[in-house]
Structure 1
Amino acid sequence: MPALEPLSGEEECLWRSLQRVLVALPRMLDEDLLRRTGLSLTEYTVLMHLSEAPDHQLRMTDLAAATALSASRITRVVTVLQSRDLVDKRRHCTDARGSVAVITEAGRQRLRDAYPAHLAGARRHVMDRFDPATVGRIASQLQSVADRLHPTSN
């Protein structure tokens, strides 16, 4: 194996800062959203993916993949959302072994109501920290990293 080139000082700073953001940001957004809306970040994300899906529904396996949750975790989250009448869970119409989650009208309304709090958190914790002139370039570079890590997430 060839020797790896060490990270430069700037690269090391970027790498360590990115690691800190990956740990701290989801916690902070979750706390903000839960306090302001009663929805966790995970619940908000599930509702968002369902609201954007064709017919506002996804197979449970696809929903788990979209939200980066395990099958058991997505089942628990959907069960909680179902108990609040924000999501329905049904048998798949052509595959009786599979289930689909469907966002309800109440779920769509709850998502619309929570959006301002989510947006405020994104702005306060991230976007307001960037120079507007660099946002496009940073977005492109991070999209390139994301595409290599998970090519089907476009």
Structure 2
Amino acid sequence: MINQFADYNQVNLKSFEAVVAYLGNLWRYALQNFRLDCSRHHVHPLWTILEHDAEFYPPSPSFTEKRMYKRPGIGNEKNVALALGNLLSIYARNNISARQAWKCLKKSGMWADLMGYCKQRKISKDELFEIIEQGLKERRLASKVAA
């Protein structure tokens, strides 16, 4: 979350010392956006005390309490790689061929992200197909799926 604030405000918040100047801003953002409501029209009294009475020095007026959320396909490389690996394990367990797996992946909701992942790593579609084929073989050999 701190990285999202840093990205939006274009500041470096990679160390504790750098974050200290913005603690008040971050604190207020968190308490205003993730409130402890007792009911629809009533905020828990402790929440109000925490929001208004907490003091952090020095305040940073140049900091905007807004996050830059991840855009689809950006910053999710690890998730794409894990999802592909998990799908290959499922496909191997169900004795799905590489061609069938390729068709399933194209229809899946992750195809665009997978293509972005491959483009970023300079992996061609032919190379991706080979990776899928090899992954299925390895999973079948490493497990009792081959039996």
| Bigger share in helix | 1
| Bigger share in strand | 1
Q: Which has the larger radius of gyration?
A: 2
- Pairwise same-fold verdict (TM > 0.5): no
**Structure with greater contact order relative to length (CA < 8 Å, sep ≥ 6):** 2
Task: Report TM bin, short chain.
Answer: under 0.3
